[in-house]
Amino acid sequence: MSRSPLFDVSLAAAITVLAAAILPTAARAHCDTTRGPVVADARRALETEDVTPVLKWVGPPAEAEVRAAFDHALRVRKLGPEALQLADTFFFETLVRVHRAGEGAPYTGLKDEAPEAVILAVDEALVTGKVEGVVEELTAATSGGVRERFRHALEARRHAEESVERGREYVEAYVDLTHYVERLHQAALSAAGHAEPLGTAAVHVEHGHR
């Protein structure tokens, strides 16, 4: 039986949750880049003079602030090319800041850089309805993480009885391995759930976003 596109889209969303749980916290947040989906929707909103495309990125408590920033940007854009650029940047920064606040994440400014490859793959999967590429990339990354930590812990275990210091090295490697596997397992089990609405809790680990 063939899967429906909705199944693939749901799986891609679940993988985003899993990736957020295992990727390093230093990873870039794709929602705060000028090449990310938030700014892409902001550009479309300004071009069409319709704020609707960006409202999904913020919760109800923040909608009034985003609408006010949008209206202000539209007025300033009409003052000339330089004003247009300033107005656009102002709106992008406001939208991203409010979106990040709704996720419980700090705003550190807009960045002109591409999102991580796995996040780009998720975005592409949501467009095409085909998630196989994301699954393959994420599987390779998680498999590599488990194998490397296991190799380190196994080697440390072989020398754990040689001295207290070697024993502590083994415990450190063991804890790193088990915590990593535990995070993966917990994320996989909870991936079918739903994140809390924007503005109510921190639901992102920079993606993540992202």
Question: Per-domain residue ranges for the chain?
Answer: 132-190
37-48 and 63-77 are packed helices; what angle lies between their axes, rounded to 10 degrees?
A: 50
Low-confidence ranges of the chain (pLDDT < 70): 1-29, 191-210
d(CA 137, CA 123): 13
Residue 46's pLDDT is: 97
What tokens appear for 167 in the block?
């024993």
Residue 192's pLDDT is: 52
Burial of 210 (0-12, 13-18, 19+ CB in 10 A): buried
d(CA 148, CA 15): 22
Does the global pTM surpass 0.75?
no
Which amino acid, 112? D
Residue 119's pLDDT is: 83
Residue 206's pLDDT is: 38
CB 87 within 8 A of CB 73: yes
